[in-house]
Structure 1
Amino acid sequence: MRNGPWANALATATAAVIGLLSVGSAGAQAPAPTNVEPRVTVVGRKGAASDWVRAESPHFVVYSDAGEDDVTQLLGNLEKLDNLLRIYTASLRQAAQPEAKLTLYFHNSASELREIEASQPADAVGLYSSCARGVQGFAVHLERIHSLADEQLDRSPLNETLSYVFEAYARHFLYRHTDVRAPASFIDGFAQYFSSVRFSDGQMVVGRVPKGVGAYLKFLDEGRYYSLDYDDVLQGRLAGARNYAGAAGVRLEFEAKAWVLTHYMLSSEENRQRLNRYLVAIGRGADPTEAFERVFNLKKADIGNVMWRYALTGVTALRVASPALEAAHVSIRSLPLAAGEFVLANAALKACPSRPAGESLLRRLAGLAARFPDDDLGRLALSRAQIDWGNPQDAVPRLEAMLQTDDASFEARSLLGRAYLRLAERSEGDARGAQLLAAQRHLQRARALNPQSAEVAVAAFRAEMAAAGGPGKAAVEGVITAWQGTREVDALGRTAALVYAFTGDADRAHQTLNSLARNPGDAAGAEWARHWRSRLEAGVSRGDILAELRRNAVPESFKEWTIYKERVMQIAERNAGLERADAFIKEQARQNDSAARSGAPAGTGNR
């Protein structure tokens, strides 16, 4: 990790947004608002429409069946959050690069998440999926989203829909735009901290206690046993901990205490300077607890008490002027009835499913395509399923016909390139050579249409490696460009690290490997990165790097769930009550038994 002045960025952000108003700024004067409600364009109302719409803003593409008004509110708030996060992480982010818009599916029901991942945990309300096919977010519409006036920002109940979407996006933002992968306590604390940010036209509030976090901290303060001490939280040591609500309760306690730590680290200029030094130390491999002790001048035995007192008396929410931001333009298009049938199946395919799930999707899409043969989304989805899980040749005529109609279709062009690449991998001789040439031609066109696509970058690189035996300049540039704009795709990061090393850019190779090595969400990938970091430090030949590039396996997709904290709290409170009742009953039985043996009246013991 670079020694970027995180503290300076936070200080700059604070001067921009917090320094304008004082603590307890109920009477703050806002400038003329420049971040007013998003401007909306609605199209596509002809014919039978599904419940699904496609909405687009400067940084997001949203597919939703939750209603146009809430989609518009969601996108307006997300654009404001994105702008705020860019201010807060200015020194951590790499040099500005063109970036792909994040695709988000905004569901009307949590049950729709199961269509993306059958192993959906109980009470899941969100999912982020990252793999070689790209990155997608999935969120649930829990309650209506309404605009807030300035005076409502620090008083109105926190909207649950925004809280969970903001939490997941803040975590994803660190993955995409920075090399921060550890400690997990900071990443999750950062996500919880920004989950409670709220915006009006001209102001915002930062530092409010998230609902689930506050409920759990109160639960602990009422005398319940805790599952994790702060050393466990700093170390990310959750396995084996006992909790009233099981593993989900352990996770909630981790998030609550991570929020306290992060709020504390962002609470003053002095602490923000220390946070900078702390993250630098972690980036250099320091032990998280030892680094925290040293940087914040606290002994490990005292951290728990300091954080407990801070949570009770030191937590402050600030209502401040928002950074200037032009109103986001949101375009909304209603999807045809047929397209609505394909939305989630297409998303599931892009989430890199398992083979059984992929083959099941292929069968399902074949049936849907027979019902709706002329729907473009359906044709693309079926083609993708055939390329990944069936016979790629079946997709070729359909995709070539689509390109005859729309030569600039990125999806059709990239899929056709991948189809020819898959065919080449199964062929030999002249047929293989012709298919590789076709794959390269279509993938080069696709890359020109969307240079940030991780899927196209990986496929184009593989095609050139297969055709020429080594990466050429265009393939190398394609991988690096995609990696710089999509840093959360570890499959692409592995290729980029090797490409940096192959081309002699040792600094960037080590920086990329360091980031991958610190990723707790991909243990196998982290081990691979540590292995290759050691090999590079010892010295490795270009031939060995090339051999690894040829065999470089694509890791499984990374999936991160967001769990409904309020339900976890209900389980914890119920089980705590049952535990107290059980203890009371056992104590009564013991007293009655003791009384019977002594001849005293039953039930007279102390309660």
Structure 2
Amino acid sequence: MVIALGASAAKAEWKRAETPRFIVYSDGDQGQLRDAALQLELFESAMRMAHRMDPSGKPARRIAIYLVRDQAALKQVEPELRDGVAGFYQATDDDIFALAIRERRDQSTLLHEYAHHFMMGSLTGGFPAWFVEGYAEYFANAEISSRRVVVGGVNRNSGEWLNYASWMPMNLLLTRRPFEFSDSNAVTSYYAQSWLLAHWFISDPDRLKMFYAYMANLRQGQEPVAAMEAAVGMPIGRLERVQRDYLRQNFRVQVATSDNFPRPDVQIASLSPAESDLLLSGLRLSSTFGKDDALLADIRRRAAAYPDDPFAILLLARAELRLGDRAAARRLLSARLDEAPEDAVALRLMGEAVWDDAKDNASDQLTLVREARGYLAKAYALEPDDYRTLYLLAETRQMSPDFPSDNDVETLLAALELAPQSASLRLFTAQARAKRGEYDAAINLLQPLASNPHSSGATVLARGLITRYQQAMVEKPSNEDATDDPAPSAG
């Protein structure tokens, strides 16, 4: 895979805006960056208000948002991104972030992806695919400025499509996922109809009660169509007619202004030349799950220009650890820790490197595991809110005969509270609980992942595990004789 990193990326001067709930990066205009940060803060408050949550509340972990000039910059992070895509969201073991083309007027892609992030982090339970996408479209359509947010208006693109295009049958909407349609028109209809049906439920308290009844029916094992018909009290053919009528009505909107909330402080700083040069390469590394020689060579070349910069050193160490020479990574990290023994990132990466050595060295495994946990314990003491450190601390315990102990589960749940969007962390935590015979808890953890409307290996695995655990509950309803479930591989 060839990564096209143009000269413009190397010369970009990136800035970082920090607010109470976001870290926003941009290589564009500083005023536009400030406006984007304020808009995101106001949007978060509006979403919380819509969910009857504390509008000034904070997530357990701030998310990083990267605003770039064009799709070419997006493809530096995800080279196989489809043409026309204006942004995407990643939640991995390594990082959780969103990347989008910066726009003053249309931020719908960024808001759609952030709505997914918010749903996974704030709402419990696994929602059906149509609602996951319809919910995101409902909030993505917000009219937003630095002083005002209007949520619930007509989605012009979806509204126009539904006025002129053919609708898919309601039973397909309720039972299929967007990746199951090969026809682009069907995919567009799926998103548009999902938006409309979600809007119909969300915008009225009585209909919202119907939605809760529908979800209860699904959890009781009813088929999707039957669950919907029972909840709304009508056959789905009539429900489609109701939807067509609803599209012609005036929509109820929710308005939030900055006067409703304290104005957040925005701190803006310029990134170092090394950070500006290597930032997108680092995001690409966080998105890479296999061998990528081109990326490794690119990071080695770029980092060589900044031999004394901590960001470049740590990124190169991470690249060597994931893609190249683990021994080289350890040398880089040792040198960094000699200079800065309280660098939490270096400590975490060193713990990861030694843990990888332990997995490859059966004869000296116990000693290496203890060494890895020593580095990770120091990293945790310095940065207790880093989910990656907590995840690794739990992973290094899995070879112990008493794994998972009560403390192991507490560690994993603490990590999951910080990063509920991480699929592999969710899988690992669910499997740990299942190993203890806590099948109900494991299934509850897996439901949001299993409901992901986009196909992925983690989603398929989650669905398979739910089936297995449901069967185990029938066969072994107590905590005794729990299944010895292997932990998933990180990544």
Fold match (TM-score > 0.5): yes
Match of 1:526 in 2: 463
423 and 51 in structure 1: CA distance in 2 versus 1, 3 angstrom threshold = same
Could you tell me whether the CA contact under 8 Å between 1:392 and 1:420 is conserved in 2?
A: no
Match of 1:39 in 2: none
Match of 1:85 in 2: 47
Matched, 1:213 2:175: no
Counterpart CA distance in 1 for 2:398 and 2:220 is 34
434 and 482 in structure 1: CA distance in 2 versus 1, 3 angstrom threshold = same
Give TM-score, length-normalised by structure 1: 0.72
Match of 2:33 in 1: 71
Gaps of 5+ in 1: 1-47, 146-158, 557-607
Count of matched residue pairs = 475
Please list the CA deviations of residues 428-487 of structure 1 after superposition, one character each: whole Å capped at 9, or x if unmatched.
434x33322221011122233344434323321222223666345543322110112322
Give TM-score, length-normalised by structure 2: 0.88
Match of 2:3 in 1: none
Matched, 1:292 2:228: yes
Deviates more, 1:457-466 or 1:301-310: 457-466
Please list the CA deviations of residues 155-180 of structure 1 after superposition, one character each: whole Å capped at 9, or x if unmatched.
xxxx21x2221111112211222234
Alignment match of 1:230 (pick from 157, 163, 170): 170
- Residue 240 of structure 1: how far off its partner (Å): 6.6
Alignment match of 1:345 (pick from 263, 281, 286): 281
Query: Equivalent residues in 2 for 1:134-533 (5 A)?
Result: 134-141=95-102, 143=103, 145=104, 159-160=105-106, 162-199=107-144, 203-220=148-165, 225-226=166-167, 228-238=168-178, 241=181, 246-247=183-184, 249-319=185-255, 324-351=260-287, 353-357=288-292, 359-430=293-364, 432-466=365-399, 470-503=403-436, 505=438, 507-521=440-454, 522-533=459-470
Match of 2:85 in 1: 124
Aligned partner of residue 24 in structure 2, secondary structure: strand
Counterpart CA distance in 2 for 1:74 and 1:300 is 41
- Residue 292 of structure 1: how far off its partner (Å): 2.0
Q: Which is bigger in relative contact order (C-alpha 8 A, separation at least 6)?
A: 1
Could you tell me whether the CA contact under 8 Å between 2:439 and 2:470 is conserved in 1?
A: no
275 and 115 in structure 1: CA distance in 2 versus 1, 3 angstrom threshold = same
184 and 113 in structure 1: CA distance in 2 versus 1, 3 angstrom threshold = same
- Residue 383 of structure 1: how far off its partner (Å): 0.7
Counterpart CA distance in 2 for 1:240 and 1:402 is 48
Could you tell me whether the CA contact under 8 Å between 2:437 and 2:482 is conserved in 1?
A: no
Alignment match of 2:14 (pick from 43, 52, 58): 52
517 and 60 in structure 1: CA distance in 2 versus 1, 3 angstrom threshold = same
470 and 555 in structure 1: CA distance in 2 versus 1, 3 angstrom threshold = closer
- Residue 553 of structure 1: how far off its partner (Å): 2.1
Counterpart CA distance in 1 for 2:239 and 2:490 is 38
Match of 2:488 in 1: 553
Counterpart CA distance in 2 for 1:233 and 1:60 is 34
Aligned partner of residue 124 in structure 1, secondary structure: coil
203 and 390 in structure 1: CA distance in 2 versus 1, 3 angstrom threshold = closer
Aligned partner of residue 67 in structure 2, secondary structure: strand
Task: Give the counterpart letter for 1:53 in structure 2.
Answer: K
- Residue 214 of structure 1: how far off its partner (Å): 2.8
- Residue 63 of structure 1: how far off its partner (Å): 2.4
Please list the CA deviations of residues 232-262 of structure 1 after superposition, one character each: whole Å capped at 9, or x if unmatched.
22223556757xxx43x33222111111111
542 and 82 in structure 1: CA distance in 2 versus 1, 3 angstrom threshold = farther
RMSD: 2.9
Percent identity of paired positions between Structure 1 and Structure 2: 22
Could you tell me whether the CA contact under 8 Å between 1:52 and 1:340 is conserved in 2?
A: yes
Could you tell me whether the CA contact under 8 Å between 2:358 and 2:369 is conserved in 1?
A: yes
Provide runs of 4+ in structure 1 moved above 4 Å.
Answer: 199-203, 237-242, 318-323, 502-507, 540-545
Task: Give the counterpart letter for 1:65 in structure 2.
Answer: D
Task: Give the counterpart letter for 1:399 in structure 2.
Answer: L
- Residue 543 of structure 1: how far off its partner (Å): 6.9
Could you tell me whether the CA contact under 8 Å between 1:181 and 1:187 is conserved in 2?
A: no
Task: Give the counterpart letter for 1:381 in structure 2.
Answer: L
323 and 442 in structure 1: CA distance in 2 versus 1, 3 angstrom threshold = farther
61 and 468 in structure 1: CA distance in 2 versus 1, 3 angstrom threshold = farther
Counterpart CA distance in 1 for 2:439 and 2:14 is 47
Gaps of 5+ in 2: 1-9
Match of 2:66 in 1: 105
- Residue 514 of structure 1: how far off its partner (Å): 3.7
- Residue 265 of structure 1: how far off its partner (Å): 1.0
Could you tell me whether the CA contact under 8 Å between 1:55 and 1:330 is conserved in 2?
A: yes
Please list the CA deviations of residues 463-515 of structure 1 after superposition, one character each: whole Å capped at 9, or x if unmatched.
22236663455433221101123222121112212333445655433422444
Bigger radius of gyration: 1
Counterpart CA distance in 2 for 1:490 and 1:219 is 38
Could you tell me whether the CA contact under 8 Å between 2:177 and 2:453 is conserved in 1?
A: no
